[in-house]
Amino acid sequence: MTESILRMRSITKTFPGVKALSDVNLEVLRGEIHAICGENGAGKSTLMKVLSGVYPHGDYDGTIEFEGAECQFSGIRDSEHRGIVIIHQELALAPNLSIAENIFLGNEQAKRGLIDWNRTNAAAAGLLRRVGLRENPTTQVVELGVGKQQLVEIAKALSKQVKLLILDEPTAALNDEDSAHLLNLLRGLRDEGITCVIISHKLNEVLSIADRVTVLRDGRTISTLDSEGLTEDKIISGMVGRDLEHRFPPHESTVGEEVLRIEDWSVHSPTQHGRLLVDKANLVLRRGEVVGLAGLMGAGRTELAMSVFGRAYGANISGKVFKNGREIQMRSVREAIDHGIAYATEDRKKYGLNLIEDIKRNVSAAALGKLAKSGWVDDNEEYKVADGFRKSMNIKAPSVSSITGKLSGGNQQKVVLSKWIFTDPDVLILDEPTRGIDVGAKYEIYTIINALADQGKAVLVISSELPELLGLCDRIYTLSAGRITGEVPRAEATQEGLMTLMTAGQEAGK
């Protein structure tokens, strides 16, 4: 059990101007689950790309030894041939092909040039049983949720006789139930002798599943630790190079009068006729208060927020919204912004930013009118405003002319927040504001949220991470199957209590 399957020695990889990896060593033992932790930009993904041949031999310095033999991969096919399979964070399935077709994509089960569908589907069914996915192999992938698609990816890896399975943030987009299933599956694969390398930001997961943990920081190996007796704080201190004293900045809210009240808000699905997504929700937000909205994936959190935000999502919406005690109508996003509501999306790359444009044009995008006189934009004022945000929000970029697509997740999120702060809203709805960003940047985002509350704004934070809501919010609503099932002040809130409320009435809702 203790021989090593993989040894990466002194891996150094440089991009023009940046040393992404410097002298990194990684040793993975056969049959273990090995976690790699590190902040965004620490070099985790780069290391895995070196390993899987995305960066071919010669593109980096150092050696890779797999099963005792040195490897010089010239591409992904090479590494897959040796039994190293990587599953990326963004799943790479063809949505309109069937599960079986996806599993054998590039590895078609053919006889004399023609695909043997019986063999394909039968083999796929066998693989699906192994990963515990009860679906027909001929089902189109587009009909599956993210969790099931993840399982299809693993089935695909198994079809390639995988020996070393690499998963990049496998549970980032999964709800707790799917995550638990996936982690169990990985334990099962370990018992079958498959070695796993898992990259994850979720440290509790890492501790529950990994045998050993390697921590990277700034492109260097900091340490490899046995998970026996390891704590989250210890990993974090390795990742950030400093001790974790406070994950959340201390904050005392001064709560003022009511700013926004949502009454009997109901939303139906725009695609599935008659399906109720939000069921008579009631919410109150007050000046200077940070309010949390907790709910499992699919509970209707984003649907609730986006439907309020100028009916940007949903069909057949009913209910009333009161701003400062007066009922308001928001039929479009523009009207919502004009009423002082801001909504920062959970998916900043897809819905939040124009990734091919620079920082200043993204910052100004939602309030261009403020920079314009009779339809003409003042470029210089725009620069000044954006540069002000770059400094005050500590956006790490050489200038506001930097393209947002090249910033790290944390800095992108700061650009999104700048955009909404520039609209000068009274109410900010922040949907998963710290998703996929590293610990240090999270702290900065929390500080910004607190500062916004101190300025008298009402903030609604939607999050999947209960510790985050507990550490940040003055009051937490729970949403379950489209219904508000609870409203808990911070002092009375516990993870267990919230989780009970978040799962309450699930059966009734379905």
Q: Is 393 in the site for other proteins (CB under 8 A)?
A: yes
Q: How far is the CB of 345 from other proteins (least distance, A)?
A: 6
Question: What count of other Cβ atoms lies within 10 Å of the Cβ of residue 27?
Answer: 16
Within positions 135 to 164, which residues make up the interface with other proteins, using CB under 8 A? none
- For other proteins, the closer CB: 5 or 290: 290
Question: Taking CB under 8 A as the criterion, which residues in 324-353 touch other proteins?
Answer: 332-334, 336-337, 343, 345, 350-353
Q: Sheet containing 84-87: give its strands across.
A: 84-87, 164-168, 195-199, 33-37, 212-217, 220-226
Among residues 196 and 445, whose Cβ is nearest to other proteins? 445
Considering the complex, what minimum distance in angstroms separates the CB of residue 291 from other proteins?
A: 20
- Interacting span for other proteins (CB under 8 A) from 67-75, 80-88, 279-287, 309-317: 309-317
- In the chain, the amino acid numbered 249 is P
Residue 124: CB minimum distance to other proteins, A:
34
Quick one: which of 1, 16, 192, 496 contacts other proteins (CB under 8 A)? 16
In angstroms, give the least distance from the CB of 247 to other proteins: 7
- Strands (DSSP E) contained in 76-171 are 84-87, 110-111, 114-115, 164-168
Among 234, 311, 361, 435, binds other proteins (CB under 8 A): 361
Find the binder of other proteins among 394, 409, 471, 499 (CB under 8 A). Answer: 394
SS (H, E, C) 176-232: HHHHHHHHHHHHHHHHCCCEEEEECCCHHHHHHHCCEEEEEECCEEEEEEECCCCCH
Q: Shortest Cβ distance from residue 16 to other proteins (Å)?
A: 4
For residue 413, give the nearest of 368, 445, 461, 367 by alpha carbon.
445
In 3-state terms, what secondary structure has residue 115? strand
**Tokens at 277, concatenated:** 């997504």
Between 148 and 442, CB nearer to other proteins: 442
Q: Is 125 in the site for other proteins (CB under 8 A)?
A: no
Distance CA 323, CA 329 (A): 10
Would you say 275 or 391 has its CB closer to other proteins? 391
Residue 451 in contact with other proteins, rule: CB under 8 A: yes
Spell out the residues 6+ positions from residue 16 whose beta carbon is closer than 8 angstroms to its own. Answer: none
401 lies in the site for other proteins, by CB under 8 A: yes
Nearest to 299 by CA among 488, 497, 135, 462: 462
Near other proteins in 233-252, by CB under 8 A: 236, 240, 242-247, 249
State the pairing for strand pair 212-217/220-226: antiparallel
| Those residues with Cβ within 8 angstroms of residue 146's Cβ, 6 or more apart along the chain or in another chain | 91, 173, 174, 178
Does 424 participate in binding other proteins (rule CB under 8 A)? Answer: no
Residues in a beta bridge with 31: none
Q: Which is nearer to other proteins, 112 or 350 (CB)?
A: 350
The reply on whether position 219 binds other proteins by CB under 8 A is no
- Rounded to the nearest whole angstrom, what is the least distance from the CB of residue 367 to other proteins in the complex? 8
| Residue pair 421/449 in contact by the 8 Å Cβ criterion | no
Instruction: Please state, in angstroms and rounded to a whole number, the distance separating the CA atoms of residues 441 and 471.
Output: 15
Contacting residues for 374 by C-beta, under 8 A, at least 6 apart: none
By the rule CB under 8 A, 104 interacts with other proteins: no
Q: Which residues bind other proteins (CB under 8 A)?
A: 15-17, 236, 240, 242-247, 249, 309-310, 312, 332-334, 336-337, 343, 345, 350-357, 361, 364-366, 368-369, 372, 375-377, 379-380, 383-384, 387-388, 390-394, 396, 398-399, 401-402, 406, 419, 439-440, 443-444, 447-448, 451-452, 455
